[in-house]
């Protein structure tokens, strides 16, 4: 049988692009470097035989902040996200309204489709992640209710533009889901995040939602995570309340995959396709095709093969300055995912 398989998003940037970004190259030179990196990433992706690819997020400043890069009305000092190895990432915060995106993800998609010969998926950041830009102290003359209304409209537009531009699927990055349980173990914050995201997903038809997915992971960055110590069992029942047709769930890096798979079986709904992570971008070791095959067959014991897909646990370089994984390693893991998924499909078929 044919088991669908898709990447999550980011691929490490080539050295020439990183050098241009770090040197503060002129915009024309930077745009040329972005274009060359996208073209090369698509060439390498297609060479693996991947049925669905991404642009590797080569020109995104990060998976989370691409809509607001260069936006006026933002100031430093927003929410800080700590990682297990001690490094942090800090979001900016809104200082005035109205809130508007500076860039929509369909721009990246259209640039990729100029070169791609196979279907291209597109990742977008969740509304719940961007809701963290609004400061707890509020913004004079711009109440939170007005910000949320603006945010939901922009997030809907981001997804809609990608669907209209011909995305194979649109993946909503919801990496803050697991982190929310670390910040609020009661689950109240997670439920508010799911409600916020659903208020956008409900604006799409059932047919459109088949092409919209949600990605959850423990937040990989620089070979570290922000919430791998949070139990999936507390996340999954609420996660599957999201009105999306696809779920991309980091699994390869989990210490107890069977426990997670049992929770998926218990809580996933019958019309949801589950893409399980079978390669771990945090781990330097490249999985073998046989290891991947075993993970797929393991998942098939809990998820009906007709609803099962495979993916990578997370992007390989979600922030532009993350060079902890090489391009060669990333594509080696992609090849292992593809071959292992193929082998599992033959056995299941």
- pLDDT per residue as tens digits for the range 29-83: 899 999 999 999 999 999 999 999 999 999 998 999 999 998 988 999 999 998 9
Structural domain boundaries in the chain: 15-348
Full-model pTM: 0.95
pLDDT score recorded for residue 65 = 93
Distance, in Å, from the CA atom of 219 to the CA atom of 254, rounded to the nearest integer, reads: 13
Distance between CA 14 and CA 203 in Å, rounded? Answer: 38
Residue 296, CB-side half-sphere exposure with 13 Å CA sphere: 36
Q: What would the two tokens of residue 244 be?
A: 């999306």
Q: Provide the pLDDT for residue 323.
A: 86
Q: Give me the mean pLDDT over the 81-91 stretch.
A: 91
Token output for 222: 């620089």
| pLDDT beyond 90 at 320 | no
- The domain defined by 15-348 folds into TIM Barrel (3.20.20)
DSSP 211: T
* pLDDT higher than threshold 90 for residue 1: no
H or E segment and range at residue 277: strand 273-279
- Token pair for 8: 């999550």
Q: What is the pLDDT of residue 22?
A: 86
- Read off the pLDDT of residues 134-192 as tens digits, 9 standing for 90 and up: 999 999 999 999 999 999 999 999 999 999 999 999 999 999 999 999 999 999 999 99
pLDDT of amino acid 24: 82
Using the predicted structure, report yes or no on whether residue 96 has a pLDDT greater than 90: yes
Residue 23 — pLDDT band, cuts 50, 70, 90?
A: confident
**Whole-number average pLDDT of the chain:** 95
3-state secondary structure of 122: strand
pLDDT at 133: 97
**Residue 123: strand, helix, or coil:** strand
The count of other CB atoms within 10 Å of the CB of residue 162 is: 28
Task: Quote the pLDDT of residue 210.
Answer: 96
Q: Count how many residues are written for the chain.
A: 349
CB atoms within 10 A of CB 145: 8
Where are the extended beta strands (E) located within 69-158? Answer: 74-75, 80-82, 88-90, 93-94, 122-125
């Amino acid at each position: 049988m044919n088991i669908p398989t898709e990447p999550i998003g980011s691929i490490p940037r080539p050295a020439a692009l990183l050098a241009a970004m770090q040197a503060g190259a002129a915009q024309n030179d930077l745009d040329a470097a972005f274009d060359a990196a996208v073209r090369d990433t698509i060439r390498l992706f297609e060479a693996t035989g991947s049925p669905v690819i991404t642009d590797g997020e080569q020109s995104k400043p990060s998976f989370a902040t691409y809509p607001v890069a260069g936006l006026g009305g933002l100031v430093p000092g927003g929410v800080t996200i700590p990682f297990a190895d001690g490094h942090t990432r800090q979001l900016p915060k809104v200082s005035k309204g109205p809130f508007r995106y500076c860039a929509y993800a369909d721009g990246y998609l259209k640039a990729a489709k100029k070169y791609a010969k196979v279907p291209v998926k597109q990742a977008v950041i969740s509304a719940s992640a961007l809701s963290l830009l609004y400061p707890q102290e509020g913004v004079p003359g711009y109440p939170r209710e007005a910000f949320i209304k603006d945010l939901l409209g922009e997030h809907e537009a981001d997804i809609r533009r990608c669907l209209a531009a011909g995305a194979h699927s649109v993946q909503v990055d919801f990496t803050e889901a697991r982190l929310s349980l670390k910040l609020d173990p009661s689950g109240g914050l997670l439920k508010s995040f799911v409600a916020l995201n659903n208020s956008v997903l409900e604006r799409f038809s059932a047919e459109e939602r088949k092409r919209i997915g949600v990605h959850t992971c423990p937040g990989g960055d620089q070979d570290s995570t922000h919430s791998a110590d949070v139990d999936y069992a507390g996340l999954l029942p609420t996660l599957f309340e999201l009105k999306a047709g696809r779920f991309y769930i980091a699994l390869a890096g989990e210490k107890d995959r069977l426990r997670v798979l049992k929770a998926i079986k218990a809580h996933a709904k019958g019309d949801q396709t589950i893409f399980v992570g079978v390669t771990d971008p945090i781990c330097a070791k490249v999985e073998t095709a046989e290891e991947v095959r075993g993970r797929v067959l393991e998942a098939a014991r809990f998820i009906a093969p007709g609803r099962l897909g495979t993916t990578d646990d997370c992007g390989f370089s979600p922030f532009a300055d993350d060079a902890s994984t090489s391009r060669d390693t990333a594509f080696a893991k992609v090849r292992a995912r593809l071959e292992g998924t193929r082998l599992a499909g033959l056995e299941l078929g």
